[in-house]
Structure 1
Amino acid sequence: MKITLDDVAKEAGVSRATVDRVLNERGNVSPVTVERVHRALYSTNYWLSDEDEFPKKKYNFDFIFPTPHSRYLDFYSRLIDAIKHSYNAHLVNARFHRVEAFNPNALADKLNEIGSDTDGIAFAAYEHPKVRTAVDELVAKEIGIVTLVSDISSTNRTAYVGINNRAAGRTAGLLMGRFLGPGSQGKIGLFLGSHAYLGHEEREAGFRGLIREQFPNLRIIEMPELLDNDDRAQDLTSGTLAEENNLLGIYNIGGGTEGIAQSLKNLELTNNLVFIAHELFDNTRAHLLDGTLDAIINQDVSHEAFNAIEILINHKEKRSISKGIVEPKVEIYLPENI
């Protein structure tokens, strides 16, 4: 069945004329709407309805994610599903790979292995010299390299796809201070996933900066790395709450939110402090609704999946990398808007 512009317009929630303007690049369309139309073009298989319009080249793109061992790392499973739905198999052959979490040597080896036969790679990056070397060697071969969710420093990678993590940390700091109220004095427990993620360090810097600037009466206590592990998070939280007096809040930068939440519930402290974390999953949604969590900072994985593939295609087609791309926004979820 031939897919029409009316079908695309309905899928995108815009007019037929808007779809026509996007296809013919006549301008006067916002970047957000352009992205919605492009996503609708692929989700409706519009390109398959006319042989002459269908791109003749099919690209092999590879995606590398950590092996899941906690609820948080299932975030990458959701990202994989979003990638699969972003483009049909006639346009992109998406190949998925897993590496041991927090093992930069394994990641560097996988990058080198894939690099011998690929049209582009997107991966969750670790900060490590071997990973940076592997990235630059692939870029020198004109392979498109996109970092997903967390960026990597001092490389020539093609692009980063993900939220502004420093802004996300500052947002968490502002919410924490506002929830506690002006003049509040006490301690905030700061839980870090891993220093291997630049994104986690950026969130930490943003959070510390905002608290220091606007809520100087709050003192941040840094906890050991959780390594995105729920069991470890529960043990560390229970120990911290037993030792620390006047703990007013907890900010969890990465994974382990389930463990922290369970510790608070077991100790009947869910109403005694402010708890802010990242990513809206089924379990974090439940903790938000029952009051264990006060706010969730989220990122749209479908948006990021589309951007990653679009950037890799732009690179292969030698177009502007940013063509058709809208930067992901930091999303805030509270019990009243989920």
Structure 2
Amino acid sequence: MARRPTIKDVALAAGVSPTTVDRALNGRSIVSDETMRKIADAAHRVGYHGKGIFQGKLDNPAPELRFGFVLLKKSQQFYQDYASHIERAISERHDYRITADIRYSSSQSPAEFSELLTDLGRTCNAIACGAVNDPRLNRVVQDLKGNGVPVVSMLNDFAQGIRRHYIGLNNMKVGRIAGWMITKTVHSPGKLAIFVGGNRWHGHDLREVGYRSFVRESNRGFTVLDTLVNLETRQVTYEATLDLLHRHPDLRGIYVAGGGMEGAIAALREVHETPQVALVVNEITVESRAALLDGYVTMVISTPLRELCQDAIEMMIQSTVEEDDGVSGQKFLEPRIVLPESL
């Protein structure tokens, strides 16, 4: 009795690996048309019993979609991880052939965001973006919506009432978590500080409100100083933290509500040989992890990037294939709380 051809036989005849044939057969990831054609031809030649499946995938390929993404600082580890999770989430979708166009805003100005969104809107089916809040962006998102290109806001909820969905953290809750940690772990009343990236980040405003409200409600003798704007940069945060430590000997805690935490960590290490000030920051990076272990960071509030990207891709697909019912949605993800003992 003749031996029944196997996947290995098809792979050998097609000049590809058995893993590639398995992916083509089971749809575990997208295989190019050229490779699929080689596999289908090889399956016919060797008489593989599932040859019709390969031909069917050629005749009825998964629908193609092109998604645009606008992230922030390309050199920062968080946004590098962010981009990797976007690409991974797309690779895990087998029902659509999705291409990602990932762009980065360097200046974070409304004009640059507008330009990036407009350019992506010319070629993409949907866009996901974390941008500042500005009337100019509202108009851009409205124009994109009119042209059938839905926009999903990620992490910072901009263009509210116009964008299709928001996905990210509950930023008011995040601010309250930071306030809880500092007021519960610091036992001597004194001054507390907060850094925000800028006045156009709605998410940072909400974190500040949550932080201040919890500290006020705790009624434990803490005073929150005037909010400091650090433009999410290391150097500005470093210099401002040194100034805080010089002017306020009773400084007990700092919350960096956006980027720039590296500057606060560096300043605290420079001034205090051992940790003296509670510091709460966002996102796990090489520097925040090291500062957690050394005690210079008390807690990290981290975004679940894998879940964020998977859900955002699903939202973009649904926004593309389903008719817009005029209802803007939002989904809050649970933040990941990272403490020294978590590492």
Instruction: Name the TM-score class by shorter chain.
Output: 0.7 to 0.9
Closer, same or farther in 2 for the Cα pair 1:320/1:337, shift >3 Å? farther
Amino acid at match of 1:46: R
Provide, for residues 3-45 of structure 1, a one-character-per-residue CA deviation record: whole Å limited to 9, x for no partner: xxxxxxxxxxxxxxxxxxxxxxxxxxxxxxxxxxxxxx9xx95
Q: SS in structure 1 opposite 2:169? A: coil
Provide, for residues 29-66 of structure 1, a one-character-per-residue CA deviation record: whole Å limited to 9, x for no partner: xxxxxxxxxxxx9xx95365966688631101011122
CA apart distance, 1:67 = 3.6
CA apart distance, 1:254 = 1.0
Question: Which residue is equivalent to 1:171?
Answer: 177
Amino acid at match of 2:335: V
- Residue 195 (structure 2) pairs with residue 213 (structure 1): no
Question: Which residue is equivalent to 2:192?
Answer: 188
- Residue 324 (structure 2) pairs with residue 336 (structure 1): no
Partners of 2:255 and 2:273 in 1: how far apart? 15
- Residue 209 (structure 2) pairs with residue 227 (structure 1): no
Partners of 1:97 and 1:116 in 2: how far apart? 14
Q: TM-score, structure 2 length as denominator?
A: 0.78
Closer, same or farther in 2 for the Cα pair 1:111/1:75, shift >3 Å? same
Q: TM-score, structure 1 length as denominator?
A: 0.79
Partners of 1:192 and 1:269 in 2: how far apart? 26
Question: Which residue is equivalent to 2:38?
Answer: none
Instruction: Indicate conservation of the 8 Å contact 2:197/2:230, yes or no.
Output: yes
Question: Which residue is equivalent to 1:92?
Answer: 98
Partners of 2:73 and 2:182 in 1: how far apart? 32
Question: Which residue is equivalent to 2:294?
Answer: 290
Instruction: Indicate conservation of the 8 Å contact 1:149/1:161, yes or no.
Output: yes
Provide, for residues 224-258 of structure 1, a one-character-per-residue CA deviation record: whole Å limited to 9, x for no partner: 31111111111111111111131111111111111
Question: Which residue is equivalent to 2:81?
Answer: 78
Of residues 38, 41, 46 in structure 1, which corresponds to 2:28? Answer: 46
Amino acid at match of 1:171: I
Of residues 144, 147, 150 in structure 2, which corresponds to 1:144? Answer: 150
Amino acid at match of 1:244: H
CA apart distance, 1:192 = 1.3
Q: SS in structure 1 opposite 2:103? A: strand
What's the RMSD between the two structures over aligned residues? Answer: 2.7
Instruction: Indicate conservation of the 8 Å contact 2:183/2:220, yes or no.
Output: no
Q: SS in structure 1 opposite 2:225? A: strand
- Residue 219 (structure 2) pairs with residue 237 (structure 1): no
Amino acid at match of 2:221: N
Could you say which structure has the larger radius of gyration?
2
Identity %: 24
Instruction: Indicate conservation of the 8 Å contact 1:230/1:258, yes or no.
Output: yes
Closer, same or farther in 2 for the Cα pair 1:299/1:102, shift >3 Å? same
For structure 2, the 5+ residue unaligned runs are 1-5, 8-22, 32-52
CA apart distance, 1:279 = 0.6
Closer, same or farther in 2 for the Cα pair 1:101/1:293, shift >3 Å? same
Instruction: Indicate conservation of the 8 Å contact 1:115/1:138, yes or no.
Output: yes
